[in-house]
Amino acid sequence: MIGRLLHRAFRANETAVHELNYLFWECTTRCNLHCRHCGSDCFAASRDVDMPLEDFLRAFDTIPAAERAHPFTVILTGGEPLLRPDIADIGKALRGRGVGWSIVSNGWFYDEAMHRKLMAAGLGALTISLDGLEEAHDWMRGRAGSYARAERAIALAAAEPRLAFDVVTCVNKRNFQELDALHDRLEALGVKQWRIFTIIPIGRAAEDPEMHLSDAEFTALMEFIVRKRREGGKMKVTFSCEGYLGRYENQVRDVPYFCHAGVNIASVLIDGHICACPNIDRDAFSQGNIYEDSLYEVWEKRFQPFRDRSWTRRGRCAGCKVWRDCLGNGMHNWHGDCAEVLNCHYGKILNKTV
């Protein structure tokens, strides 16, 4: 109980301070794959034009140097960021401002030449998505050969000491049974950090039953992570910070659940909208636009819905006994009219999904 109270105090202080440490840039919505779980509904020929680097930098430069003196990372996301021909220029421009940058990628274009180019541009961190062994991954990604390309990228990144690197896996009904084999494969590739998450029912995944674990499967996933963490080994397995997990809180992650969206995290979206994480409902929660507003001013003055979560005490959260620790789960679980939380991890563990 004392630990929970201390964590609540810590969270309240961090929210009051709201140090900006993590800035997503949705630099493209073009993608070479067609993933079944895509929350962005990205396509090869996106309707959105890639945001010019100069536009992003103009917004970025509104952030005072003192704020950027704290640990600060710009995360290029998409779409597939490596489709941008100016990806290295972006990295160099950020390093030129003394800021670390990173990429979330499907790995398709990440060959040795790309690795060298990105390292030369100061890439500091990388996440590659791998959603199972070959058959399950290629099914999920909608393109044959995706697994082989991702594995090549993983091998290159895992051997690079300058990169903070992890692999992220979206667990679904197809890859659920092969997690042990996938674990062993990743460990053999030299991966040190493996992060697991589950799907939010948005985008293409909303109507796909194969994407969603049952309550029993979700609890079994927690047990799998607990087991792997107890076994030790060269690779650390964690569950992503996507929701409050009740009794599993201290067993599947290094730190207790805390949705940092809007507290330490902001996003510049493809059309210039300013939000917290890119997977949050942008229609409901965007707080401004870089083409009309100062990014930093919006961060300082308009992010109240992310920093005061009292509005989430509604629907099934209204009478929940763990609300003070959960605060309505991750912000990405509130969409549309926000009448009800989309996903309750705590409820899954109690086998009480509505």
Binding other proteins (rule: CB under 8 A), the pick from 84, 115, 141, 204 is 115
Which stretch in 54-62, 69-77, 131-139, 206-214 sits in contact with other proteins by CB under 8 A? 69-77
Complete edge-to-edge strand list for the sheet that includes strand 236-239 = 236-239, 193-197, 164-170, 123-129, 100-105, 73-77, 22-26, 265-268, 273-275, 288-289
Taking the complex as a whole, the smallest distance from the CB of residue 319 to other proteins amounts, in Å, to 26
Give the pair of three-digit tokens for residue 98: 């003394």
Taking the complex as a whole, the smallest distance from the CB of residue 197 to other proteins amounts, in Å, to 6
The yes or no reply on residue 95 touching other proteins (CB under 8 A) is yes
The yes or no reply on residue 106 touching other proteins (CB under 8 A) is no
DSSP assignment letter at 234: S
| 3-state SS assignment for residue 17 | helix
- DSSP letter for each residue of 119-179: HHTTEEEEEEE--SSHHHHHHHHTSTTHHHHHHHHHHHHHT-TTSEEEEEEE--TTTGGGH
Taking the complex as a whole, the smallest distance from the CB of residue 117 to other proteins amounts, in Å, to 9
Backbone angles phi, psi at 119, to 5 degrees: -65, -35
Which stretch in 52-60, 70-78, 147-155, 201-209 sits in contact with other proteins by CB under 8 A? 70-78
The alpha helices in the chain, defined as continuous H runs, are 2-17, 53-60, 65-69, 87-96, 112-120, 134-141, 146-158, 179-188, 215-231, 282-285, 295-301, 304-307, 323-326, 345-349
Binding other proteins (rule: CB under 8 A), the pick from 58, 111, 125, 215 is 125
- CA dist 202 and 273 (Å) reads 19
The yes or no reply on residue 166 touching other proteins (CB under 8 A) is yes
The yes or no reply on residue 17 touching other proteins (CB under 8 A) is yes
Binding other proteins (rule: CB under 8 A), the pick from 3, 4, 19, 227 is 19
Q: Characterize the bridge pairing of strands 73-77 and 265-268.
A: unpaired
- # of chain residues touching other proteins (CB under 8 A): 60
Give the pair of three-digit tokens for residue 275: 């939000």
The yes or no reply on residue 92 touching other proteins (CB under 8 A) is yes
| 3-state SS assignment for residue 4 | helix
The yes or no reply on residue 96 touching other proteins (CB under 8 A) is yes
Taking the complex as a whole, the smallest distance from the CB of residue 292 to other proteins amounts, in Å, to 25
Taking the complex as a whole, the smallest distance from the CB of residue 80 to other proteins amounts, in Å, to 14
Q: Which is nearer to other proteins, 17 or 318 (CB)?
A: 17
Binding site for other proteins (CB under 8 A): 10, 13-14, 16-17, 19, 21-22, 24, 70-71, 73, 75, 77, 92-93, 95-96, 98, 100-104, 115-116, 119-122, 124-127, 159-162, 164-166, 168, 193, 195, 197, 240-242, 254-255, 258, 260-261, 264-265, 277-279, 330, 332
